Amino acid sequence: MNQTININTPDYWDGVYRHEWDSGQVLSPNYRRDYIPIHEAIIRLIADGSRVLDIGCGPGLLCRKIKQCLPAAQVTGLDFSRYTITQNQQRDQSLGIEYRCVDVRNSLAANGCLFDVVLMCEFLEHLEQPESAVAAAFGCLKTGGRFILTCPSASCIFHRATITRGCWLI
């Protein structure tokens, strides 16, 4: 029997990230969410010293890579999983990355800061209303800033018909 799970909740992602952190996957060199070629391409598009906002940062891999490669960058990562934000804050305390627990589906406009670069990477496909999230993300961008959005190819998404509704069939 198939059960429908809503993947658009903080509780769902807290569970996913808790499992990935507790099992050591996040710190593994073979972590499945480490999109190395995509991250490298993104970093090449960012000037050192930029204010960077990573929306839906998850376990903070891209935030961490940006800060390590561009030490003068001011990096902020947002995610609605309190668990992963807490883990990121502990792991990256010495790097000076700011991590905040924010539900970007409805609280992004309240951020109040403007950034040189706004990132939405491997995240858009999880949103029920991606258009409003992208519009809110653009509202965080300085005039002349750079907006970078990446999405997995359709062949990498399981049960493509359900993803736009924010559900996975398991």
CATH number of 4-18+37-169: 3.40.50.150
Let me know: does 129 contact 106? Beta carbons within 8 Å: no
Mean pLDDT of 94-118: 85
Write out pLDDT tens, residues 110-120. 566 899 999 99
Per-residue confidence (pLDDT) for residue 123, from 0 to 100: 79
Q: Cα(3)–Cα(170) distance, rounded to whole angstroms?
A: 6
| CB under 8 A, 24+ apart: contacts of 106-112 | 108/55, 108/78, 108/133, 108/136, 108/137, 108/139, 108/140, 109/136, 109/139, 111/53, 111/78, 111/140
- Specify the pLDDT at position 110: 58
The single-letter DSSP state of residue 71 is T
DSSP labels for 81-99? Answer: -HHHHHHHHHHTGGGT-EE
Q: What is the pLDDT of residues 61-90, one digit of tens each?
A: 999 999 999 999 999 999 999 999 999 999
Indicate the angle between helix axes 10-22 and 82-91, nearest 10 degrees. 40
* pLDDT given for residue 153 in this prediction: 56
Look up the pTM and report it: 0.85
pLDDT value of position 5: 74
